[in-house]
Amino acid sequence: MPVPKATQVGIDLRARLDQIRQANGYFTELKRVYGPTEKPRDKVPMPYALVRPGTDVRTGTAGWQATRVRQFEIEVVFPKSADEAALDAVHVDVLRALGFGQDQPERKFPGLLDEEDEAIPQYASEGETTHSITITIGVLYVESYN
């Protein structure tokens, strides 16, 4: 049974992020990428990524189809021992994995909005054991309603 386009975009996004490994030329060695219904257990290897869909807005309509923009939050969690450079590096890695700025269409994540991304780091405070960075991106897709 086919899945809704929004679901497929999320699956494809997680598959692309799962390629972030040093053997593939990235700074970061992601241990795992979790989807919105998965929860990491205690003491899982870090860094790992949590991918959560955010707002989803219709931007246009034509017949039985609509163009939509879905926001995704990609939170990458590091141990408290990680330094500032590790968080900055994974931000670069995520955008590189999605083909940000690529002039070759086949390397760019389909529908990625180049002008929409944001990164918010959060460093461990007293009693916390992890740092994280949350990267928000937008993806344009077309859904059919017939």
Where are the domains positioned within the chain?
5-144
- What is the token pair recorded at 137? 């991106």
CATH number of 5-144: 3.30.70.1700
Closest by Cα among 31, 38, 2 to 17: 31
DSSP 100: T
Q: Calculate mean pLDDT across residues 118-142.
A: 95
CA-based torsion, 99, 102, 108, 110: positive or negative: positive
The model carries a pTM of 0.93
d(CA 134, CA 121): 6
127: left (phi over 0), alpha (psi -120 to 50) or beta: left
Condensed to tens digits (0 to 9), the pLDDT of residues 4-31 reads 999 999 999 999 999 999 999 999 999 9
